[in-house]
Chain A
Amino acid sequence: MVNSGTEHTVKAFDTDINELRGMVAEIGGRSEQAIAKAMRALEKHDLKLAAQVVEEDKLIDELEKRIDDLTFQTIALRAPMADDLRELIATFKISGVVERIGDYAKNIAKRVPVIASTHKLGPASLLPSMSNVASELVRDSLEAFARRDADLALEVSERDQVVDDFYTSIFRSVITYMIENPKDIGEAAHLLFIAKNLERIGDHATNVAEMVYFAAKGEPMPERDRGENPTDLLEE
């Protein structure tokens, strides 16, 4: 039983916690937006939009710092216990993870100018679909945090497999493309990195989900059965 909604006797504690929840929602929203914008910039080859993603990442970084400061302060001043403590620890970790998600989006945006020549994604045509799923995972993991929903968190963790499967598929087709078109290897490598970034975003969304599960239940999320590991492909 977590967060029955009962307020704390000390109202200022609730004020701090609510402010933190608001900031987590905001950093989550900004990261999700960064992924969407970076991918749109990639598809449309929109250099201006790509530059905007890079610029806006600073806001995410600032937000992370503000969340960490307030979490630190709240732990020091309010000496939280039980689910309050778990939520604050989760908040502290989630802010770092979501900031990393923002970094991956920025990294995708930075590659947009380099993938100028083809104006299309070629062998990596699955990237937009992959990105949609990864974004959904980020959105749902933060929705799970807002609702203290361990079941949704578990579901996010399971759905990360879809992102991993996309990655495996893109990896295979890009490698095949490289073999057939050695002159385009540079550009294809960038596509591969973009796929890898999206795959990492999915993993980070899972990390958020694990934190949510812990905050809600007080125990670690059960390990999910992972499918084929994309890095295994290197051995083939």
Chain B
Amino acid sequence: MTELIDSNSSIESPNMTASTAPAISAGDGPLKMTTRNVDVFYGDKQAIKDVSIDVTMDNVTAFIGPSGCGKSTFLRCMNRMNDTIPIARVTGEITLEGEDIYAPDMDVVQLRARVGMVFQKPNPFPKSIYDNIAYGPRIHGLANSKDELDNIVETSLQRAGLWGEVQDRLQDSGTALSGGQQQRLCIARAIAVDPEVILMDEPCSALDPIATAKIEELIHELRGKYAIVIVTHNMQQAARVSQRTAFFHLGTLVEYGVTSEIFTNPTEERTRDYITGRYG
């Protein structure tokens, strides 16, 4: 994981972003994750080209861009989910609290507890609501007694805004919940192992507007407790939930900046064309 690409490579690199990390301004809170000159290859095909981004605790970071732009691929690098794809190869540097997450001695299971993930389609385990939450703390040995575990389950469900709806039926199957509730269950499950970062890959794309609004409200409440990165196709959603937005196109990071500026006065023409609906 030390292979750094030549900064003069032919890779398409827009002026303000790719090779140099974007400046983090005062008031952004502590840095949680940094990525530097990240390339991702699927076999011979390069899916991500020289991307450098910083993620802070106090801001929700949104990744936007057209299908196939690499935003999900990049998100999956941040907790090494791409390791599960044999032909995927990642170069560059990604750190969590200054630690290289691709270092040989990095425990990937531990990493994924620290950097949790929520997927597009709610994927609760075919177990009870209680066990969905308790599973992670159990295997990571986070609870020493039944009481402690009960406490983690309740706190996690409360943080995910689901406790009131399920407290009387914790033994019901997680899959019996509505789509929006299942997604909040998945968020509660991620929270249960006390992560530092939560990655969300289009968490609302399978949900109706009300369930979506509840997730967005939840993201708002979780901000600051966890560093949150969300991939979304819905630009209005990116505008609503994030404070920093990164626009990806054809595997490159075109523009990364303050959300309110990206959506009112983007610097790059490609960003403008995409967010105003002129793309393609």
Contact = CB atoms under 8 A, between A and B. Distances in A.
A181 interface: no
A32 to B, nearest CB: 30
A13 B278 CA distance: 11
Interface in A1-44: 1, 4, 6-10, 13
Interface string B244-280: 0000000000000000000111100101110111111
A84 B276 CA distance: 7
Given A4-B269, A218-B264, A219-B265, A82 B275 contact: yes
Contacts of B207: none
A7 B276 CA distance: 10
A80 B265 CA distance: 12
B264 A85 contact: yes
A9 B275 CA distance: 11
Given A1-B269, A4-B269, A6-B273, A82 B264 contact: yes
B222 interface: no
A235 to B, nearest CB: 41
A79 B276 CA distance: 9
Contacts of B264: 81-82, 85-86, 218
Contacts of A80: 276
A79 B275 CA distance: 10
Q: Which of B239, B266, B271 has the most CB of A within 10 A?
A: B266
B142 interface: no
A4 B279 CA distance: 12
A221 to B, nearest CB: 14
Nearest to A79: B236
Nearest to B279: A9
A82 B279 contact: no
A4 B264 CA distance: 16
B235 interface: yes
A80 B263 CA distance: 9
B263 A8 contact: no
A8 B235 CA distance: 16
A79 B279 CA distance: 16
A1 B265 contact: no
A158 B272 CA distance: 30
A84 B275 CA distance: 10
Interface string B219-237: 0000000000000000110
A219 B264 CA distance: 10
Contacts of B265: 82, 86, 218-219
Given A79-B236, A218-B264, A9 B280 contact: yes
Contacts of A85: 263-264
A81 B235 contact: yes
A6 B275 contact: no
Nearest to B265: A218
A81 B239 CA distance: 10
Interface string A148-188: 00000000000000000000000000000000000000000
Given A81-B263, A82-B265, A85-B264, A8 B276 contact: yes
Interface of B: 235-236, 239, 263-266, 269, 271-273, 275-280
Given A79-B236, A82-B265, 16 more contacts: A1-B269, A8-B276, A8-B278, A10-B277, A80-B276, A81-B239, A81-B263, A81-B276, A82-B264, A82-B271, A82-B275, A82-B276, A85-B264, A86-B264, A86-B265, A218-B264
Interface pairs A-B: 8 shortest CB-CB: A218-B265, A81-B275, A6-B278, A1-B269, A84-B276, A8-B277, A82-B272, A82-B276
